[in-house]
Structure 1
Amino acid sequence: MRQFLACSLLCLLTLSSLAQERPNVVVVLCDDIRWNALSCAGHPHLKTPNIDRLAAEGIYFENMFCTTSLCSPSRATILSGLYAHAHGVTNNFTDYPAELDSFPRRLQEAGYQTAYIGKWHMGEKNDEPRPGFNYFVTHKGQGSYFDTEFNINGTGSRVVPGYYTTVVTDMSIEWIDKHRADNASKPFLLMIGQKAPHSFYFPEPKYEHVFDDVEVNYPHSSFKLDDKPKWITQRLSTWHGIYGPIFDWRKEFPNDKASGVVDFARMVRAYWGTILSVDDSVGRLVDHLKAAGQFDNTLFIFMGDNGLLEGEHGMVDKRTAHEASARVPMIIRYPRWTKASGPVRIKQQVLTTDVAPTILDAAGATAMTDIHGSSIKPLVSGDDSGWRTEWLYHYNYEKQFPYTPNVRSVRGDRFKYIRYPHGDGSPDRHMAELYDMQNDPAESTNLVNDPAHQSTIAEMEQRLLRAMKAVGLDPSNDTMPLDAGIGTALPDKAIR
């Protein structure tokens, strides 16, 4: 009996020790947040002190990108570490495959309690719990900034009054407290899917007028399209162009008059306003973890699913391979990885495929095999040997949103090359793009027809093919829709 009690005590101590060794994981996932929409990223008007503190104490990624700039494909990539063609979620209407592996599943198998609260955005009409999570709260479709109808852990949908960002933060804090009461010996994963700052943009009342006095204009690049593919000019007056409805902030369109910038400015200011509430949310989460004595034992990740064009090249929305579309913010605070070095800034190109293996590495969970990403842990200690120097950007034309062609792009450390395949193996119908990202980070000058860069184009063609093959694609198996051209009709209201 004495031996049994001693063994039981030892087992409990071991479990307690393992719980302390394994970090909690908190992932705050924003929807459509630009890489520079934080004060720590140099934004001239947004002030995000709570997110800034994470960067000041943790790991800030200067060159973080999504591999497909579209919500559902990117979210599936974050969960799986796979490109869209491999996980199968290539549009905003396909749910995450129920049988597909994911980092939440691996953490759950490793003894973590797992929760997802907020915007799932895979499977438009499904708000039921998904595999890999012990607790699951979401809603159908996009949700609303005010009074969203949530399905709380499969108990049925009901309207939860209040502002979305505040509501999901309240739910998250309640779940943390319940976890501590019921499963204190187990580490936890909490993913929070914020709606903000996705369109249509409605800030909290207290933030509605914060930016009223800030002058906002169309970017200069909106009027420098002569060397760009014609489809970009054709997009100007569509749902995804600056002269179109701009997410209902403009009621009479198309409007290419100078006075039309007033509507554009109202849209941008509202977008910024929604981010202020996200910063409040991060502050509340951090304070709660600190009060529980769990903050330094938590891998805290703040990130976006994809970027957003804010008028660059005359475009709004995302989907394209241009920087504002493909580049996202990511900050990781995890003292165990930075206690020797202090705050770290990562300059290497990191992708959404790297999120899942990074989390599993930190948690000491079994790694997923045959994925396209890698843990960023070596970069934190300064070891970039073998790290990528080129990567594939991938997007397929959507008939529901016919404003962007098929895109296949390779981004190296210096040059970016973008092609627009027609989809049937015939020659591309659109001009390609080549940018020198070191000397022209704003992508203002397309070098594709510059005689001095023809050898660079030939090299980038080979690098594009190499990047495709690295993720299991080549011309023989790269299936995509037929590019039916830039449409002018508005998308169906139910899917905006």
Structure 2
Amino acid sequence: MSRFVVIGLLFTLTLAVQATAAERPNIVLMLCDDIRWNALSCAGHPHLKTPNIDRLADEGIYFENMFCTTSLCSPSRATILSGLYAHQHGVTNNFTDYPANLDSFPRRLQQSGYRTGYIGKWHMGEKSDEPRPGFDHFVTHKGQGKYFDTEFNFNGKERRVVPGYYTTVVTDMAIEWMKQQQTDDEDQPFMLMIGQKAPHSFYFPEPKYEHVFDDVEVNYPHSSFKLDDKPEWIQKRLRTWHGIYGPIFDWRKEFPDDKASGVIDFARMVRAYWGTILSVDDSVGHLLAFLEQQEALDNTMFIFMGDNGLLEGEHGMVDKRTAHEASIRVPMIIRYPGWTKWSGPVRVQQQVLTTDVAPTILDAAGAEAMNDLHGASVKPLIAGDDQKWRREWLYYYNYEKQFPYTPNVRAVRGDRFKYIRYPHGDGSDDRHMAELYDIENDPEESTNLINDPEYASTVAEMQQRLIKSMQAVGIDPAKDEMPIDAGIGTKLPDKAIR
């Protein structure tokens, strides 16, 4: 082979490598805290208008059945980073930080040449605001942060209060960081995670959105008063921190209050929750406008999602943690023309989990995959290939002594039926009634079929499917470790951890 042919081949190979590098997308992941799956106008919300988030759905991939595997902030965030269930990554409560030696998709991207950044609410390891592994740029704060004037730690070098509304502040910081990446090296891709505080309690909308929903009538859901076929613990929860007759995140000052007039406080809370989401939509709009201005939008995978769902009065409950639909469903929308340029907008109906986020991002980036994950890339679903996709999956939650309002939960959600049980934690018989719902025909979970003789065989089948779903993620049902369920408490949680 002549020297000129070799040089020509090397030149061609170099161009191919450069083209591959240039095609690696930037990645922007906006993670909202406690956002309901249907709190968007593209999801059919009757009052919220979210045109910028709707644009993502109109131009990208909308996941109609997206779920978290544990409906609690820190465990769910660790699952998003790692692709693992909580028993595997070790973050099983809201007080444990992400293990420093555990792999994550930001680490893999960093190793593959991405510049990586995190700006906003981290929400793992409540007392630390120091930089975490896997990120070149890391700006966060201790604990929950505040809707106004939060003190941030900038890369472990400086702490200072940044005046302004949280959602706007982190958006501005995100844009400034992305500008710097464009200045430093336009050919090197970046990954940026933006941790929004909104719409987590306590809900304080931006002043311009404080009164947008004042004229919208808000009532307790009908399911709040249909509890006869529900486990007793749900009825006991009504008057607690996580029930509609309790303080509802301090919006009600005198409680418990089961009078009809008490709905006024509930309505104020819900309206404020909606108000915080309007600022999130503004944030998405500002980020999209910046990326368009930089001519980088179509080479960016933009992911909008939540860490867990939120009960908004369903079955008489607020907060999350339970295995009911409003608690476990989250929104996720991905705009990435690299995967949809031939198909146009896509709506995915298959059951997608937070375990799937990390492998999906690494797939798009062409980075080395992580091993032995509980999730998989969603890319095949976009092409309509779901032959190997899950038909059922495990949901679980462990009782917390700091928030003793929800028992241990072990559930399996199939395409049609959901089965929920509440183990005591010591291997003895369950002390709470189980639940069985026909999700396909009863999406609001209004009728518990657990004691219906016509569904006895379905109960037996779902019990076996629960065992199989546990085994599929490496849990031996006979050795399933969990706290002892000490019962539903009425004492308010410590103010420092609310």
TM surpasses 0.5: yes
Name the SS for the 1:476 alignment partner: helix
- How far has the Cα of 1:13 moved from its partner? 5.6
- 1:105 and 2:100 aligned: no
Q: Deviations over 1:257-294 (max 9, x none)?
A: 00000000000000000000000000000000000010
- 1:291 and 2:262 aligned: no
Trace 1:30-49 onto structure 2 (pairs within 5 A): 30-49=32-51
CA contact (8 A) 1:126 1:139 kept: yes
Q: Deviations over 1:383-415 (max 9, x none)?
A: 000100000001000000000000000000000
Distance 2:126 2:8 in 1: 53
- How far has the Cα of 1:132 moved from its partner? 0.3
Q: Partner letter of residue 479 of structure 1?
A: E
- How far has the Cα of 1:20 moved from its partner? 1.8
Q: Deviations over 1:172-218 (max 9, x none)?
A: 00000011111322100000000000000000000000000000000
- How far has the Cα of 1:19 moved from its partner? 3.4
CA contact (8 A) 1:94 1:122 kept: yes
Q: Residue 477 of structure 1 is aligned with which of 476, 479, 489?
A: 479
Match of 2:428 in 1: 426
Distance 2:101 2:491 in 1: 37
Match of 2:159 in 1: 157
Q: Partner letter of residue 428 of structure 1?
A: D
Match of 1:441 in 2: 443
Distance 1:184 1:123 in 2: 34
Identity of aligned residues (%): 80
Q: Residue 277 of structure 1 is aligned with which of 276, 279, 285?
A: 279
TM-score (norm 1): 0.98
Name the SS for the 2:444 alignment partner: coil
Consecutive unaligned residues of structure 2, counting only runs of 5 or more, are none
TM-score (norm 2): 0.97
Distance 1:78 1:364 in 2: 18
Trace 1:143-292 onto structure 2 (pairs within 5 A): 143-292=145-294
- How far has the Cα of 1:8 moved from its partner? 11
Distance 2:171 2:300 in 1: 17
- 1:352 and 2:392 aligned: no
Q: C-alpha root-mean-square deviation of aligned residues, in Å?
A: 1.6
- How far has the Cα of 1:476 moved from its partner? 2.7
- How far has the Cα of 1:475 moved from its partner? 2.1
Name the SS for the 1:234 alignment partner: helix
CA contact (8 A) 1:15 1:185 kept: no
CA contact (8 A) 1:391 1:410 kept: yes
Consecutive unaligned residues of structure 1, counting only runs of 5 or more, are none
CA contact (8 A) 2:57 2:345 kept: yes
Distance 1:227 1:151 in 2: 49
Q: Residue 400 of structure 1 is aligned with which of 399, 402, 423?
A: 402
Name the SS for the 2:169 alignment partner: helix
Q: Residue 95 of structure 2 is aligned with which of 93, 96, 100?
A: 93
Distance 1:149 1:432 in 2: 45
Distance 1:14 1:168 in 2: 37
Q: Residue 17 of structure 1 is aligned with which of 5, 12, 19?
A: 19
Distance 1:271 1:30 in 2: 12
Name the SS for the 1:398 alignment partner: coil
- How far has the Cα of 1:429 moved from its partner? 0.3
Distance 1:351 1:477 in 2: 24
Distance 1:38 1:357 in 2: 26
Q: Residue 322 of structure 1 is aligned with which of 324, 329, 342?
A: 324
Distance 2:309 2:399 in 1: 18
Distance 1:21 1:415 in 2: 42
Q: Residue 411 of structure 1 is aligned with which of 402, 413, 426?
A: 413
- How far has the Cα of 1:6 moved from its partner? 11
Match of 1:454 in 2: 456
CA contact (8 A) 1:110 1:365 kept: yes
Q: Partner letter of residue 460 of structure 1?
A: M
CA contact (8 A) 1:237 1:488 kept: yes
Name the SS for the 1:200 alignment partner: coil
Distance 1:185 1:330 in 2: 28
Q: Partner letter of residue 450 of structure 1?
A: D
**Runs (4+) off by over 3 Å:** 5-16
Q: Residue 384 of structure 2 is aligned with which of 350, 357, 382?
A: 382
- How far has the Cα of 1:340 moved from its partner? 1.0
Q: Residue 391 of structure 1 is aligned with which of 383, 390, 393?
A: 393
Name the SS for the 2:177 alignment partner: helix
Identify if the C-alpha distance between structure 1 residues 343 and 258 changes in structure 2 by more than 3 Å, giving closer, same or farther. Answer: same
- How far has the Cα of 1:252 moved from its partner? 0.5
Distance 1:15 1:340 in 2: 24
- How far has the Cα of 1:18 moved from its partner? 3.4
Q: Partner letter of residue 148 of structure 1?
A: T
Q: Residue 142 of structure 2 is aligned with which of 140, 143, 162?
A: 140
Distance 1:340 1:127 in 2: 43
Distance 1:397 1:453 in 2: 29
Q: Deviations over 1:123-178 (max 9, x none)?
A: 00000000000000000000000000100111132110000000000000000001
State the aligned residue count. Answer: 494
Q: Partner letter of residue 39 of structure 2?
A: A
Identify if the C-alpha distance between structure 1 residues 12 and 195 changes in structure 2 by more than 3 Å, giving closer, same or farther. Answer: farther
Identify if the C-alpha distance between structure 1 residues 171 and 75 changes in structure 2 by more than 3 Å, giving closer, same or farther. Answer: same
CA contact (8 A) 2:471 2:477 kept: no
Q: Deviations over 1:199-258 (max 9, x none)?
A: 000000000000000000000000000000000000000000000000010000000000
CA contact (8 A) 1:20 1:297 kept: no
Distance 1:311 1:330 in 2: 22
Distance 2:117 2:233 in 1: 42
Q: Deviations over 1:56-112 (max 9, x none)?
A: 010000000000000000000000000001100000000000000000000000000
